[in-house]
Chains A and B, each alone.
Chain A
Amino acid sequence: MERSGPQPRSGLLVLVSRAVFDPAIGSTGDVCYGPEAVTRTRPASSSFRAEALAHADALFRLAYHLSGNQADAEDLVQEAYVRAFGAAAQYEPDSNLKAWLFRILRNLHIDLYRRARKNPVSGGLDGEEDVGAVASPELLRDDQELDRLRSVVAEDIEAALLSLSPDARSVVLLDLEGLTETELASVLGCPVGTVKSRLLRARQALRQRLKDYAR
């Protein structure tokens, strides 16, 4: 029997079209979103650009802790804004602009990270894998361990954070920036449940690292 009217688009086609038109997805395709947004070609207004540029500090912090150095972080931020303003029409006005920008920057970093292949793709980028040696939940539950955690200096905290996988770093940093679990899910491109488990394991891994610094 022949079907009439518009044909439903295949999931792959939707994914490809979104990867092409949605800078927040980039080429990674690691998304778990609903129906695609209608692609528009409205240029970024000056007020939109100004509002987005107000998040430069937060974007730079994430970029720095993802790349590990200032030069790469600056490039990441610059490129993220290029992508963002090139696809401003896809931004939903009622959503969190900062989270949208984080998502673009993170996906951009993943693109570059995979392209450079300085580190293996597995073991850090796809979420369910290693986020560092997961410490026992009981590890720091005594006051002595908490005191040790409080004594860690800022540089050691940063070093410990940088020793985590990029995915673990991202979820910790984005949580620190005040994003909700839903917004974290949007940025990381995964369900809220996955965000919770990632965050739990990332915190455990970080506490384990900090325990070492506190000794």
Chain B
Amino acid sequence: MTPMNPNDEALRAALQRLPRRNAPEHLKRALAERWLEPRRFDLPRLARSVVSVAAGAALAATVLLGWRAHTASQGLFVEAVNDHLRVLYAEHPVEIESGGVHQVKPWFAGRVDFAPALGFGGDDDFPLQGGAVALFLDRKAAAFEFKRRLHPITLFVFRAEGLAFPSASRTIGSSQAALRTERGFHVLLWRRADLGYALVSDLDEQELAALAAKIAGPQAP
């Protein structure tokens, strides 16, 4: 600072009384926004809103799809029980009397659009009664009738394409199956290759599982 005489000091004192013209806040803000690095994760409000809405929509879609998938998979149990009752109420529950699996399986040829894979043809514990063509949801199914004492047991074999199977809860032979009790009936559902299997009966759960294991075939060593 330059040396000053008394008059200069008085002038300087007068100049100190100048209105304090600081930069307006909006100018400082504009400068900071333009030149200073944005804070990390400090997204603009609009971007945050968009992200929030998108996240909410994604969550809602996930919940909706999950709920629909859950509903659809649970519907397989209901459908299995309904179809089982339909078979029992039918005037002729079986259309082909069983003379063994090698007699029943060929019978379905031309009646359904798939070859029902069945490795178990019945035994003394679970004799095969016969077979019939049924409807499972929107598709034809091969219905096999077994029996355990006086308990009728129906096995539906159908194309699994496009169906949402419920999460498996137990191992049945070489397959993983889901079990649910619906209106007093136990239902076991599983899938193998492109075919679905639904085993339904009012039989004891353990015994039904034993039959399912025979149908599904032994677990791979």
- Residue positions of A touching B, CB distance < 8 A: 44, 46, 49-50, 53, 56-57, 59-61, 64-65, 70, 74, 77-78, 81, 85, 140-141, 145-146, 149-150, 152-155, 157-158, 161, 172, 175-176, 178-181, 196, 199, 203, 206-207, 210
The answer to whether B35 and A158 have CB atoms under 8 Å apart is no
The answer to whether A210 and B19 have CB atoms under 8 Å apart is no
Task: Please list 22 pairs of residues, one from A and one from B, whose beta carbons are closer than 8 Å in the complex, sorted by A's number.
Answer: A46-B37, A53-B31, A57-B22, A57-B23, A60-B23, A61-B22, A70-B24, A74-B24, A77-B27, A78-B30, A78-B31, A81-B31, A81-B35, A149-B10, A149-B14, A150-B14, A157-B15, A161-B15, A175-B2, A207-B7, A207-B11, A210-B14
Count A-B contacts at CB 8 Å: 90
- Closest CB in chain B relative to A199 CB, distance in Å: 6
- B interface size (C-beta, 8 A): 27
The answer to whether B11 and A203 have CB atoms under 8 Å apart is yes
For residue B28, which residue of chain A has the nearest CB? A56
Query: Is B149 interfacial (CB-CB < 8 Å)?
Result: no
- Residues from chain A with Cβ under 8 Å of B24 in the complex: 60, 70, 74
The answer to whether B22 and A157 have CB atoms under 8 Å apart is no
- Residue positions of B touching A, CB distance < 8 A: 1-2, 6-8, 10-19, 21-24, 27-28, 30-32, 35-37
- Residues from chain A with Cβ under 8 Å of B1 in the complex: 175, 178-180
The answer to whether B23 and A150 have CB atoms under 8 Å apart is no
* Alpha-carbon separation in the docked complex, A2 to B1 (Å): 51
For residue A196, which residue of chain B has the nearest CB? B2
The answer to whether B14 and A158 have CB atoms under 8 Å apart is no
- Residue of A57, A140, A155 near B19 (CB, 8 A) is A155
The answer to whether B22 and A53 have CB atoms under 8 Å apart is no
The answer to whether B14 and A56 have CB atoms under 8 Å apart is no
